[in-house]
Structure 1
C-alpha cells in the first residue's frame, strides 16, 4: 500500500535522482485527485534527467459534458454515470463511475476523478515541467472505416489528451 506523500521506494535512493530519460503514464491521473497528481508529477520530475521527457494521457476533460445525451443509449461505447447537475467545473476532483465497451461487446466498469484542463496545466507548471505538445485524440477516419458501427457514437468528440513535457535543462549562471 503506497502513499503518495512518500516517494516510491526506488525513487528514494540518491542514485535514482535524475536517472530517468523518459517516463510515461497512461490514464494514471484519472485515479488521483488534483493534489495527488501534482505530487506524482513532482516525483516524476525529480527522477528525470534534465531534458528528460514525460508523456501522459488522460480522458479528455470535456467527456463529462457528453453524459446527458448517452445514458439511455445502449450503442454508446463510453458512458459516465453523472448525476443531474454535475458539470465541467462543479465536478472537479470528484469520483465519477462509468462504463466503456470493447469492440468485442464487453462492458468494462471505469472510474475517474474529474479534472479541468486548468488542473492539468497547473499541476504541470507547479511541478516545473515545460509543455512541448498537447494532442487531442479522438476517432479517426481510419477507425470509422475499420468499424463504423462501433465508433459512430464518439466520432467528432475529443476522447483523450496526450501531454508531452520536458524537464527543464539546467542553465548556467554567469
Structure 2
C-alpha cells in the first residue's frame, strides 16, 4: 500500500504534463499564451491539407500514431493505392488494424511524416500546411519535443502523421520545424 501511495503523486505529474502532448492534440500549448495552431511559413499559394482520419466509430480518429512501425525518420509522398496500403500498415503498427482510408489518387495524394523511434513519450508530429511555389509543392511538418522540465513516459515511441493534399506530379519538398514544449 505504501508503494502505491508513493507512486501516485509521480503518476499525477506525468499525466498532468503529458496532457498537452497527446498525439491527437491539434495545437501546441506554450506557457503564458493562448493555444495556437502550429504552422510553417511557406512561400507560394496555400494548398489544402486534410488530416487523414480512420473510418472508425464517429468521430473518426486522426491517422496519427505514437506507436507506428516507422523506426527511422521518414517523409513520404504517396501517389498510388499500393504505396498507400504499404504505408498504412506501417502507420497502424501493431495496433488493431483500421481499414485503409479511401483516397482518390486521381485528384489527391498522401504525404506522411514520421519521427522514427524516440526514447520517451512527449513527442508528436503533424502536417499543418502545404503551398505550391514555382512548380514545387512544399509541405510543412511540425515536430514537437518535450522540454527539459517535462515529465514523460519512459517508453519507446515512433510518432507519425498522414495527410491528404491535392495531387502534384512535380517535385515535393518537406519543410520541417521543431518546437520544444515547455512544462512547469
Q: If the length of structure 1 is used for normalisation, what is the TM-score?
A: 0.23
Q: If the length of structure 2 is used for normalisation, what is the TM-score?
A: 0.22
* Higher share in helix: 1
